[in-house]
Structure 1
């Protein structure tokens, strides 16, 4: 009997990361919907990650992240979660035209774990839909050798789309999300060969 499973490509892993950690946050509502939508898309094995549950304090590692000589358990857990992923979607609110401090802190904790992986954003906010936060986040991701893609989900005046059943997307949210996932899948497959 021949083993045909060895010829099947391994599933790519997508981490959907809720970045807001403050009380009263709405990020988990949007992240839960997006993770479900990504599972239905079928291109990825989807892992939901919540930075509030990860519980990173303000960056406290004594060694530079590029050395990967992590001293703290919280860093080791975060590094393992990140290292296993082939792609990321950050669910990102906008604070003063920027991502929340928890996003910057989480990215700064690591270095090589981000390398050669595509990044998408599901942003939310007022009139801008969080797009200014996304633009501020992209230079940081390129610095750690990740690839932010142009396609994204931007939820403007997001509270009008949150009801009793959670996030209630419109057609333009669905089409934007699908376009982002399609592109992430292409990039994730292409960039995987660049990683050790």
Structure 2
């Protein structure tokens, strides 16, 4: 069975990404089809990229990078739960992606985003980054506008539209993660 991480893509105080990631993990775990696990960037405390060599060489010098590499290596796919900051990706998520290269290759990724416009511009950026990291991004995504999916713009209350959008994302992610696993073995 494939192993998929639900990655909490923000570490900001008052972040909403943990609420959203908890919902994704709960729904994913109850449906089955893969082993799902929470991966919260707040638990890793990665500094700004400080490796002297390009990540594509895999010559990691710092222990925090080696721990991060071992963590990412365990997974076959990812659901990135991301906010949209200034029409793009939270810096902590971009930094976490930039630390590694081969550990991301030939793995599937899906996106659950939120923000004033549902976080879709962050996902546009993430799709470009995923392509460069040789990740396969699935077409289905969940976009959560503050106006419809957050009570008082802070407490996550998924709409029926959001509930309905998550299933196809998980279906596609499990299928792609399963298929891509054969490339890595």
TM range (shorter): over 0.9
Matches within 5 A, 1:1-196: 11-126=1-116, 128-157=117-146, 160-162=149-151, 167-196=156-185
Q: How high is the TM-score relative to the length of structure 2?
A: 0.93
SS at match of 2:78: strand
CA separation in 2, counterparts of 1:47 and 1:32?
A: 10
Q: Secondary structure at the match of 2:140?
A: coil
How far did residue 169 of structure 1 move?
A: 2.0
For the 8 Å contact 2:104–2:133, the answer to whether it is kept is: yes
Shift of 1:185: 1.0
Query: Structure 1 114/147 Cα, relative in aligned 2: closer, same or farther at 3 Å?
Result: same
How many angstroms does 1:125 deviate by? Answer: 0.5
CA-to-aligned-CA distance 1:25-55 (integer Å, 9 cap, x gap) = 1111111111111101201111101111111
Considering only aligned residues, what root-mean-square deviation do their CA atoms show, in Å? 1.5
Alignment check: 8 A CA contact 2:149 2:158 kept: no
Count of residues paired in the alignment:
183
TM-score (norm. length: structure 1): 0.88
